[in-house]
Structure 1
Amino acid sequence: MTLNQLVLRSMRKNAKNYYLYVFALIFSVTLYYSFVTLQYNPAITKEIGNGMTATVLKAASYLLLFIVIFFVLYANKLFMNRRSKEIGLYQLVGMPKGLVTRLIAIENIILWLGAIILGVFMGFITSRIFVMILLKIIEKDAFVELSFSLEALLRTVIVFLLLLMVVILQTAMRIRRVSLLSLITTTVVADEKVKKFNAFQMILGFIGLVFIGYGYYLSTTLLDLLDDPTLTPDKMLIQLLLILTLTIGGTYFVFRFSVALILNIVRKSKKGLMSVADVLSLSTIMHRMKSSAMSLTTITILSATTLGILTLAYISYYSADAMAQDSVSYDYVMYEDTGFDLIGEFDKEGIQYTRHDLDLLAVQADVRPLLLKEFAQKKDVSTLLTVQVVSQKDIQNKLPNLQLKEDEGYIVGYDSLSAENIRLESQKPIQFITSTGTDELFITEVTEESLVPNYHNYNFITVIVSDSYFQKLLHDPLNENQKIVGMELQEMDQLKKAEEVFEANKVSVEIPYPSGLATKTVSVESQETYRLDILNSLGLTIFISGFLGLAFLIATGSILYFKQMSEADEEKGAYTILRKMGFTTNEIMKGIRRKQLFNFGFPLLIGLSHSYFAVKAGWIFFGTELVAPLLITMSIYIILYSIFAILSAGYYRKVVENAF
């Protein structure tokens, strides 16, 4: 029999094993080619630009390459483990190691070339879908054609041919270094059995839980650390590295010691009366935990990091509308000094709107009396701030039920970012600085609503006061007045036309800061334009984060699935014995389902916990909404892992059914 005939026969015999490996290869090539080809798509070049966009996409492609290498090499390792007995038998019948290496190398070359061709074809088809998703995120209307890129093809082929060489070299080294006996017994060697837990292992298990808890605590203090006047970049870096070290180290200790320790306590509590389900779940997990701890830790940390980045990106996207509403509280805002009559242009085009005239005052105020007790005691907290003041009359259209007395005020625009820096509470006074001294005003309510353009408040707060009190502040020479006009469209179907008029006539104007020491450029503002600017600036980041995040989640979920398939094959002999003893498939599957619940559920639970605290530490810098984006991304994460868990349980059922 020639080598070529042996290769073809071997591939036919291993068809049931190849589909797993081929899936990993095709999936990796498809992802990589479809992402790389985005850099050369004419629709992206036209709508977004080809300067910084190409650079960002190229940098992201290196991150994707890391995911691909991690995924393919791990899949190859599992694949070779499943074929180790076959490789040992080749040597047992007299084939030299060099010939066995050539046999496996030829099989790999055939598989990889086929996977590259099919993966590039699928990537060519799916790349159009990804371009459409990206343009949808930034709300650009453009026709997207199927675009073939020779540069992307060459990069993909070169990357995967180099990776093929690494795989062949990895396989050759394994065949040459490993003994014949170890190759034959690879799939039947049991993991080290944990017979006894000593005091040191118990301490390490407890330390793992403490490390994670303390890491979580430090993450909640990051924002408070920003208020420290002695904070330096090195100090912040040390804090971040400490959190990462505690979290990663704690996670490993939990998988390596804590889990086995807890399960051993559960096992002892049964006093030897363990059911088949207990044996197939508790005992199996304990005996495999030493070899699985590092891989589970790696998957958990990488998944948590990916999920955290994905959540933060989605927070920015989800919050775009709210951020635009907070910054430009009317559909259009024009300033008195611009000399731009947008109203006249709207009248000329027949655009229906409602006009709101506002007087804004920049007033110096001492907010210390409003601070929470623990913040008021901090000497390093700056409490003399410039706040924006507006009269109740001018805001009546948005707060029709608001009634204020002469000495009362109502605060709006106190968002989550402001709350993290300075904690205010209502039913306390605020002190305005006037030309005659200070004047105290009682604050009845502090809310997050942003109802007034934040021209004078530096994204802090706006104080609504009674009309008579506003007139008193208006005539104070220390306070600067700015007149603005807000316009709200009566029919939102006229928005597109209104935007065209706005873009054709908008101007900018230099407006002095209240201090008079500097100026700022203020455009006649459009809420819709502001929202689209947010999407344009963040759209590519959101898309890349989502693409890489989902790719990583699918890769880690697949790796767990592949690992469970290998374990199922290794345990087939035990299932055969149980079936011969009279146990049914459903009785055996009861214990296996418990094991799958742990193998997928426990890393899932820890990953969700890690990502939650990571996101909670800095989400306010990315948007205004936390709960909804967090729940949506975590739901996607849970659904994906649940799919892999179900597939894994299905494979186990087939193994158990065929074990009799």
Structure 2
Amino acid sequence: MKFRHLAINNVLGNRHQYSAFFFSSVFAVMIFFIYAAFILHPDVRGGKIIGGEAVAIGMIGCECIIVIFSFFFVLYSFSAFLKSRKKEFALFLLFGTTKGQLRRMVLYENMLICLLSLGVGIGFGMLFSKLFFMIISEIISLDNPLRFYFPKTAILITAGGYMALFLVITMLAIRKAIKQEIIELMQASRQPKLPPRFSIWLVLLSIICLGSGYVLAYTMTPGNMLFIMLPVIALVVIGTYGLFTQSSVALLKGLQSNKSIHYKRTNMIIISQMIFKMKDNARILFLVSVLCAVILTASGTLNVFMNGSKEQLIDHAPQTFGFVETGLHAHNVVDPEDVRRILKEDGLELDYELQLVGLTVQAELPAINRELTAMLVSESDYNIQAARVKKRDQVKVAPGQAWFVYPYREMKKELVSKGEQISMKMNGKPLQLQMLGQKSGAISKPYGASGYLFVLNDQDYKELSAILPDELKTVAYGFELKKWESALKTGQKIEQLVPAHYKNAFESRVDSYHMFMQIASLTFFIAIFISILFFMASGSLLYFKLFTELQEDRAQLHSLRRIGVTRQEINKIVTVQIAILFFIPCVVGGLHAAFAMKAFYNIFSTNVLVYAGVVLLVYLAMQTVYFLIARRSYLKKVLVE
């Protein structure tokens, strides 16, 4: 039998251990290949796609993440697998195999896995690349979907890159694993494990780090976000590591000393074994917990980005189309009749129409120590429009007084205070008003004078309006549509009527929305693959670690069977142990993500706990499927007589 035949037989014989590692590698290769095929697509490289360069840059960043992930994932998985085969290597050496030959056999095995992963991954990539191109084309609104092509360069880069990656990792791993003497390799699995210990000081440190990180995240605000975000991450990571390496052992030791729990049914066996398993698997559980927290937090952050940004866009542009004219009857920007005609032609239904007339003033605000161009409007006109816009308060104004309205609600600083006297000039004539306070939120396009409003009593406004000529008055127009998201082409038709030097006076919310949605949807689409890759990695690490301890666990369970433990009790012991390994990281990661979501709520005032909860449930459902597969496969192997 030649070495390559021996390597093939070894891979087939250890297919249960290799399966999770193999499928995760296939998925990583497939995603890397598809992204590379898009980046190297002739239409993208030739600049025929608007925004294609930005999309390609984003995918290059994802490629880097995939490569870094693949390196550490393959390195850990392969090192752990070699460690579990020390007895097998000792037998080969005992029968006369040299260490060089043994290294060559392991090299053949790993390169076989590499070639299979590359072949299957690139094959699936070729199969799904056209679908990927079609989805990307739809997201970035291409008139013609990206054409299919044979990506020779992408194949070479993917194959060459991953073969080099596997080769380097294999050489690093086998050099470390196959350097011991025969007796050391033979006794590796027989050496008794020392009872896991913990330090009460490290337990307290982990609790303090986690608690401090949670408190800081819970109290995070836009003002202190930049200063405490990195400390929060560092504290939570340190605390999580201590939680699995120290606190878990301390907790299980505490349960072991509680007789009412420890001596109940099979708890003695479960707790005793879990003390060793938690200590042995501490690093894996730590990594999986961090991966889970990253996936959930990233999903919630993306939801904040998409929904929060849409709400902010609507808040900044209350009407679908808005423009500002100088002159009561002037139509220098665009004639409102033309807007109504185009809306009718395109079959779009109006929700409401805005026409807000105001008086331009130059106001001196001591808070910012500069003069501000603003607009005086009447109490009645303001309240009518405020009632149509979400989250806008009605106002009541007494003679001689005014409310100041700042257009952006996220602005927390008060530019005027209650009782403050504000001096201003209207057409060169001095004017002074006593402030009732400040309101936030635009009710029309915030452009020029219409960006900042002073709301006056109706009678005061009427008297001032009679002084200012009609040609100096400012008029803000707005058209809010019921299904405004689909009015992109309509907005482009209207904008074509606007003269070039008045472009800033016109605003289409739909343009900004579609540009934002392209970026957000593309980010979401790309992030889905990265999240699935991380999920598969976390599940594969647990699955892989489970089977590396198979021989030892099988011997222990057979010993239990000989002293009278039933098959049903063995099933229960194994199920509880595997469930703890699979679901504890989800609970810890979910808790981390919950505090991260609270921090985002404090910053963006957007509640994402429900969305993060849905993502957590999906993650738990997928993890449950992984758990059931692992449990069934593990029980089938471990209970073999």
TM-score under structure 1 length normalisation: 0.79
Q: What letter matches 2:275 in structure 1?
A: M
Give the distance between the partners of 1:412 and 1:291, measured in 2 at CA. 62
1:92 to 91, 94, 105: 94
Q: Give the 3-state SS of the residue equivalent to 2:410 in structure 1.
A: helix
Q: Give the 3-state SS of the residue equivalent to 1:143 in structure 2.
A: coil
Most deviating of 167-176 and 383-392: 383-392
Give the superposition deviation at 1:12. 4.1
- The CA RMSD measured in Å over matched residues stands at 4.2
Give the distance between the partners of 1:476 and 1:182, measured in 2 at CA. 101
Look up the match of 1:256. 245
Give the distance between the partners of 2:314 and 2:551, measured in 1 at CA. 57
Look up the match of 2:589. 607
Give the superposition deviation at 1:529. 1.2
Q: Give the 3-state SS of the residue equivalent to 1:522 in structure 2.
A: helix
Aligned partners of 2:358 and 2:474 also within 8 Å: yes
Give the distance between the partners of 1:261 and 1:204, measured in 2 at CA. 10
Look up the match of 1:439. 434
Aligned partners of 1:361 and 1:456 also within 8 Å: no
Give the superposition deviation at 1:119. 1.0
Most deviating of 43-52 and 310-319: 43-52
Give the distance between the partners of 2:143 and 2:570, measured in 1 at CA. 55
| Identity between Structure 1 and Structure 2 (%) | 22
Give the distance between the partners of 1:544 and 1:184, measured in 2 at CA. 47
CA separation of 1:398/1:111 partners in 2, compared to 1, >3 Å: closer, same or farther?
same
Q: What letter matches 2:24 in structure 1?
A: A
Give the superposition deviation at 1:523. 4.8
Give the superposition deviation at 1:61. 1.2
2:289 to 290, 300, 319: 300
Give the distance between the partners of 1:641 and 1:156, measured in 2 at CA. 29
For 1:584-632, what per-residue CA distance to the aligned partner results, in whole angstroms no more than 9, with x for missing partners? 4432333333333432332222222333434544567779563454334
Give the superposition deviation at 1:31. 2.1
Give the superposition deviation at 1:110. 2.5
Q: Give the 3-state SS of the residue equivalent to 1:296 in structure 2.
A: helix
Q: What letter matches 1:606 in structure 2?
A: V
CA separation of 1:451/1:335 partners in 2, compared to 1, >3 Å: closer, same or farther?
closer
Look up the match of 2:427. none
Look up the match of 1:592. 574
Look up the match of 2:279. 290
Alignment partner of 1:393 is 2:381: yes
Q: Give the 3-state SS of the residue equivalent to 1:104 in structure 2.
A: helix
Alignment partner of 1:20 is 2:9: no
Aligned partners of 2:133 and 2:145 also within 8 Å: no
Aligned partners of 1:29 and 1:115 also within 8 Å: yes
* Structure 2: stretches of 5+ with no match in the other structure: 327-331, 425-430
Aligned partners of 1:593 and 1:649 also within 8 Å: yes
Q: Give the 3-state SS of the residue equivalent to 2:504 in structure 1.
A: strand
CA separation of 1:12/1:71 partners in 2, compared to 1, >3 Å: closer, same or farther?
closer
Look up the match of 1:516. none
Aligned partners of 1:366 and 1:430 also within 8 Å: no
Look up the match of 1:343. 337
CA separation of 1:344/1:20 partners in 2, compared to 1, >3 Å: closer, same or farther?
closer
Q: Give the 3-state SS of the residue equivalent to 1:488 in structure 2.
A: strand
CA separation of 1:410/1:630 partners in 2, compared to 1, >3 Å: closer, same or farther?
farther
CA separation of 1:251/1:432 partners in 2, compared to 1, >3 Å: closer, same or farther?
farther
Give the superposition deviation at 1:243. 2.9
Q: What letter matches 2:303 in structure 1?
A: Y
Aligned partners of 2:333 and 2:506 also within 8 Å: no
Q: What letter matches 2:434 in structure 1?
A: D
1:270 to 245, 249, 259: 259
Look up the match of 2:356. 358
Aligned partners of 2:450 and 2:476 also within 8 Å: no
Superposition pairs of residues 135-534 of structure 1, within 5 angstroms: 135-138=137-140, 142-187=144-189, 191-194=193-196, 201-220=199-218, 222-223=220-221, 225-226=223-224, 239-270=228-259, 273-275=262-264, 277-337=266-326, 338-341=332-335, 343-344=337-338, 346-347=340-341, 350-351=345-346, 353=350, 354-359=352-357, 391-393=379-381, 396=384, 399=387, 405-407=396-398, 417-418=410-411, 421-422=412-413, 431=420, 433-435=422-424, 437-441=432-436, 451-455=443-447, 467-468=458-459, 471=462, 482-489=474-481, 495=487, 497-507=489-499, 509=501, 522-534=504-516
1:83 to 82, 85, 88: 85
Q: Give the 3-state SS of the residue equivalent to 1:208 in structure 2.
A: helix
Most deviating of 489-498 and 585-594: 489-498
CA separation of 1:414/1:587 partners in 2, compared to 1, >3 Å: closer, same or farther?
farther
Superposition pairs of residues 41-120 of structure 1, within 5 angstroms: 41=41, 46-120=48-122
Give the distance between the partners of 2:500 and 2:563, measured in 1 at CA. 85
TM-score under structure 2 length normalisation: 0.81
For 1:50-97, what per-residue CA distance to the aligned partner results, in whole angstroms no more than 9, with x for missing partners? 434333322331111111112222222233234333222212222111
Q: What letter matches 1:343 in structure 2?
A: E
CA separation of 1:417/1:550 partners in 2, compared to 1, >3 Å: closer, same or farther?
farther
Give the distance between the partners of 2:187 and 2:246, measured in 1 at CA. 27
Aligned partners of 2:82 and 2:177 also within 8 Å: no
Look up the match of 2:130. 128
Q: What letter matches 1:262 in structure 2?
A: L
CA separation of 1:182/1:52 partners in 2, compared to 1, >3 Å: closer, same or farther?
same
Aligned partners of 2:34 and 2:125 also within 8 Å: yes
Aligned partners of 2:202 and 2:242 also within 8 Å: yes
Aligned residues: 614
Q: Give the 3-state SS of the residue equivalent to 2:356 in structure 1.
A: strand
Aligned partners of 2:444 and 2:476 also within 8 Å: no
Look up the match of 1:372. none
* Structure 1: stretches of 5+ with no match in the other structure: 228-235, 369-379, 511-520
CA separation of 1:568/1:49 partners in 2, compared to 1, >3 Å: closer, same or farther?
same
Give the distance between the partners of 1:87 and 1:360, measured in 2 at CA. 87
Aligned partners of 2:27 and 2:533 also within 8 Å: no
Give the superposition deviation at 1:130. 3.5
Give the distance between the partners of 1:638 and 1:471, measured in 2 at CA. 64
Give the distance between the partners of 2:158 and 2:384, measured in 1 at CA. 61
Q: Give the 3-state SS of the residue equivalent to 2:355 in structure 1.
A: strand
Give the distance between the partners of 1:473 and 1:216, measured in 2 at CA. 56
Q: Give the 3-state SS of the residue equivalent to 2:384 in structure 1.
A: coil
Give the distance between the partners of 1:282 and 1:413, measured in 2 at CA. 62
Q: What letter matches 1:32 in structure 2?
A: F
Alignment partner of 1:640 is 2:622: yes
For 1:373-397, what per-residue CA distance to the aligned partner results, in whole angstroms no more than 9, with x for missing partners? xxxxxxx999999988754435526
Q: Give the 3-state SS of the residue equivalent to 2:207 in structure 1.
A: helix
Give the distance between the partners of 2:237 and 2:453, measured in 1 at CA. 43
Look up the match of 1:376. none
CA separation of 1:6/1:287 partners in 2, compared to 1, >3 Å: closer, same or farther?
closer
Give the distance between the partners of 2:337 and 2:409, measured in 1 at CA. 34
Give the superposition deviation at 1:156. 0.7
CA separation of 1:489/1:257 partners in 2, compared to 1, >3 Å: closer, same or farther?
closer
Most deviating of 158-167 and 44-53: 44-53
